[in-house]
Amino acid sequence: MHGCAQTQMRSATSTVLGPSSRASLAAGHAGLMTVPPDADRSPHLARLPPPVDPLGPLAAVVRQPGVTDVVVNAPGAVWCDRGLGLERVNMAFADAAAVRELAVRLASAGGRRLDDASPLVDARLPDGTRLHAALPPIADECALISLRTVRRTPFSIADLVTAGMVHVGLAPLLEGLVRERASVLISGSTGAGKTTLLASLLSLVHDSERIVVIEEGGEVSPTHPHVVRLVERRANVDGAGEIGLARLVREALRMRPDRIVLGECRGAEVRDVLTALNTGHRGGMSTIHANSALDVPARLTALGSLAGMGAESVSLHASAAFDCVVHVERGVAGRRVVQLGVLDADPGLEVVAGVTVRDGDKLERGPAWTRLAELAGLTWREIAGDLAKAEVGQGALGGAVVNDATA
């Protein structure tokens, strides 16, 4: 009886999905063609429509050279940032429904859900572009889209000097900090260039060293032959399967790292980073959001409290984990490294200025200059000599003056 039923089922399947029926079904799909088995398939494949770009009409804007951010506020309000602040883009969507449709499609391309039940999304697109989107009623009247591009080929320090982000006199200091395996914390606001500088510094690491990068998403892409990346995994719709940054930092310790890099300190994982950098893993790096270098201790203390660490514990661990703080700012003139300082825990955690860029092109030595120079394996005479050489033939830098804040 059972065998008879199987025979009847096979017979029915053969009838419904026989050769002619399958060919008819395939031919019925829009945009598809039936190709004889013995035919040359390349001409037919060439006729297939190209895959749809998930960025849709924003693709042309996002992929323009120099564009770092693209935001959509309304159907007729599209803006981009080329490094000098937001500027209006001459394009418009048909209506708010078109903006919403694109936001949903972008979220889907990043493997995330965006609908009325889940109106906020933070995702990474296949090309690395970071997406944030919000739907009404969270967003007023129209869906909001924010895109942050990722530069796959990092700038060299020389590139950053040419672009004006790094003062020519700071270049040997930054290079020395990497060479001497100082642990560096890069601070700044959103979009100030923290990740850009981080990738450039990591590109200076010797090829024989293994770099383990822990990130929320794949943003840090240094030019280096031995970089391995751990990316956090968020919980699924059932709230299961999450693997956070704190665990990934602990896992990185078992991967024979020469340098441990956390893309951004933003939560309780700061405890694990401070612990890792206090276990002999010198030369680590990370970034942190802060208004200024002087505000970094307060940010570290606040993040440490999320992990149950007291202020004194954060102070002792942070001063031993990080040697130097490099602060970057974004202003009307673009993104710039404006200060290098040293973390000190006596009597309380603070950042003591080592060198500061004043009035755009003047270097001012601070109280921690001697310690900063030691960390970079340099002397002020060597830096002044490099500065003088670099200024030859560069009239724009001819006004660079070295001052002493303690004089």
pLDDT digits (tens, 9 = 90+) for 345-354: 888 899 999 9
d(CA 123, CA 92): 24
pLDDT digits (tens, 9 = 90+) for 240-290: 888 888 899 889 999 999 999 998 888 888 998 898 888 888 899 999 999
Q: Is 33 or 239 the better-scoring residue by pLDDT?
A: 239
321 pLDDT exceeds 60? yes
pLDDT digits (tens, 9 = 90+) for 80-117: 998 778 999 999 999 999 999 999 999 999 888 899 99
Paired strand residues for 334? 331
Pairing of strands 259-265, 285-289: parallel
CATH 3.40.720.10 fits 157-404, yes or no: no
Q: Is 108 or 404 the better-scoring residue by pLDDT?
A: 108
User: What's the whole-number mean pLDDT along residues 198-214?
Assistant: 94
Pairing of strands 324-331, 184-188: parallel
Domains 56-148 and 157-404 share a fold: no
Nearest to 357 by CA among 164, 96, 124: 164
d(CA 378, CA 206): 19
User: What's the whole-number mean pLDDT along residues 207-236?
Assistant: 87
Pairing of strands 130-134, 120-124: antiparallel
Instruction: Tell me if 223 sits within 8 A of 203, measured CB to CB.
Output: yes
d(CA 382, CA 372): 13
- Domain coordinates of the chain in residue numbers? 2-46, 56-148, 157-404
pLDDT, residue 204, reads 95
CATH 3.30.450.370 fits 56-148, yes or no: yes
Amino acid of residue 304: G
d(CA 82, CA 61): 11
d(CA 184, CA 324): 5
User: What's the whole-number mean pLDDT along residues 111-128?
Assistant: 89
Regarding pTM above 0.85, the answer is no
d(CA 286, CA 310): 21
pLDDT band at residue 397 using 50, 70 and 90 as cut-offs: very low
